[in-house]
Structure 1
Amino acid sequence: MRNERAAPMMLPIIETERLILRAPRPQDAEAIALYLNDFAVSGNLARVPFPYHLSDAKAWLRTRHPDTEPDDANFTIEAKGEGYVGHIGFHPGPDGPVIGYWLGKPFWGRGIMTEATIACLDWFFAETRAPVVYSGVFHFNIASLAIQQKLGFTQSGRSWLLCLARDAEVEHIDTQLTLGVWKARRT
């Protein structure tokens, strides 16, 4: 059963020790295109084509608005002193909100995505009180699965999902995180 969507709101700027999470802006297009035009990144994502062009980034950015419902909120991830490094956001799924994320390859292995995901989930659960957030990874994306497991996501099944970059249906490990588990882990 799906929750009613929350009313549109202005996205906040979320600051952590090393990161700034903010609404995407048109000037992010070049960095988005640079990092997503790497198959090591786009090949792990369902809804991103490869090759990925500047025109793709500009078209996607035109769909983003700073006043949106929380379950359609998207944040640019900036590393303090380094600039744009990736993206994290939510979209409505068939069973409820889905969180997805990616990080430019030069920034892998530094704990950036774990830090960004914690901040986004704290914000999302506080804003919506949604009982569950869904996610998942393609079966070969062990690093992303490790982040989710570290944060309390549990495997809820397997499915097949179209990966645009691979132009193929790929086995997907479905995951979910309940508000109760999140609260217990954060205290």
Structure 2
Amino acid sequence: MTEEMTEERRLRAGPTRTLVTPRLRLRAPVPGDAEQVAALLDDYDVVRMLSRVPWPYTLADAQSFIRDRSDETVFAVCLKSGGDILGLCSVRPNADRPMRGELGFWIGRPHWGNGYATEAAHAAIDYGFTALGLDEISAHCRVINEASRKVIWKCGFRFIGSGMIDTVASGRVASEIFSLDRNCWRSLKAWGEAR
């Protein structure tokens, strides 16, 4: 992605907005969130499913990530009541294809099984297609990650293939690739509103 395209996307989207869903508030992470993020990622079962997170994960890692996000739109996923951080969700532009992005998400173990990842992913996808003006969003998950696969399916993505990806914590692993384009997203939104 050229510098001009990155700047154009930033100007179009403006600063990361706060998104509100029925149970969650998605907001830009701030330096004070680093301790909570590091505590939630002090769990190899979470980290081994993520591609860009090192193991062990330290407070310094969390501080660096929050400080140096570049052009990636990252949201701290928080409960509306209380504001506790449950995990993170992001939409990262594809450097080679500027109108495409990649969805990323994780929820800490204490909050698994409540549908928070799906709720946060829906909001981030909407943001990617509206505020960022993306035409397509992809998602990857390890083939052994049934929970993420369920979230991806619930968001309307279609399976497009499998392959290998390099991860920081687990090395080279088998993964599945999914895609959701703007037209399919619009159709799903219209169908959901009609119900």
Verify same fold: TM over 0.5.
Answer: yes
Give the deviation of 1:180 after TM superposition: 0.9
Give the deviation of 1:157 after TM superposition: 1.2
Q: Counterpart in 1 of 2:61?
A: 56
DSSP-derived class of the 1:110 partner? coil
Q: Counterpart in 1 of 2:193?
A: none
Decide whether the 8 Å contact of 1:114 with 1:147 is kept in 2: yes
Decide whether the 8 Å contact of 1:36 with 1:104 is kept in 2: yes
Q: Counterpart in 2 of 1:81?
A: 81
d(CA) in 2 for partners of 1:113, 1:161: 22
Partner residue of 2:16 out of 11, 19, 23: 11
d(CA) in 2 for partners of 1:147, 1:125: 18
The answer to whether structure 1 residue 127 and structure 2 residue 131 are counterparts is yes
Decide whether the 8 Å contact of 1:129 with 1:179 is kept in 2: no
d(CA) in 1 for partners of 2:165, 2:10: 30
Matches within 5 A, 1:6-155: 6-8=9-11, 9-64=14-69, 72-82=72-82, 83-93=84-94, 94-95=96-97, 96-155=100-159
The answer to whether structure 1 residue 175 and structure 2 residue 193 are counterparts is no
Partner residue of 1:158 out of 158, 162, 172: 162
Decide whether the 8 Å contact of 1:50 with 1:165 is kept in 2: yes
Q: What number of residue pairs does the alignment pair up?
A: 180
- Deviating beyond 6 angstroms after TM superposition, the runs of 4 or more aligned structure 1 residues are none
d(CA) in 1 for partners of 2:126, 2:167: 29
Please, what TM-score do these two structures have when normalized by structure 2?
A: 0.86
d(CA) in 1 for partners of 2:140, 2:10: 26
- Cα RMSD of the aligned pairs, angstroms, is 1.8
- Percent of aligned positions with the same letter in both sequences? 31
d(CA) in 2 for partners of 1:51, 1:44: 13
d(CA) in 2 for partners of 1:49, 1:128: 28
d(CA) in 2 for partners of 1:7, 1:30: 28
d(CA) in 1 for partners of 2:35, 2:167: 23
Give the deviation of 1:144 after TM superposition: 0.5
DSSP-derived class of the 2:154 partner? helix
d(CA) in 2 for partners of 1:127, 1:61: 21
Give the deviation of 1:80 after TM superposition: 2.2
d(CA) in 2 for partners of 1:84, 1:129: 27
DSSP-derived class of the 1:128 partner? coil
Decide whether the 8 Å contact of 2:91 with 2:125 is kept in 1: no
d(CA) in 2 for partners of 1:37, 1:163: 17
For residues 68-108 of structure 1, the C-alpha deviation after alignment (integer angstroms, 9 at most, x for no partner) is 75xx2110000123411100012223443111011001101
RCO greater where, 1 or 2, for CA within 8 Å and sep 6 or more? Answer: 1
DSSP-derived class of the 1:7 partner? helix
d(CA) in 2 for partners of 1:22, 1:179: 23
AA aligned to 1:173 is: E
d(CA) in 2 for partners of 1:59, 1:123: 24
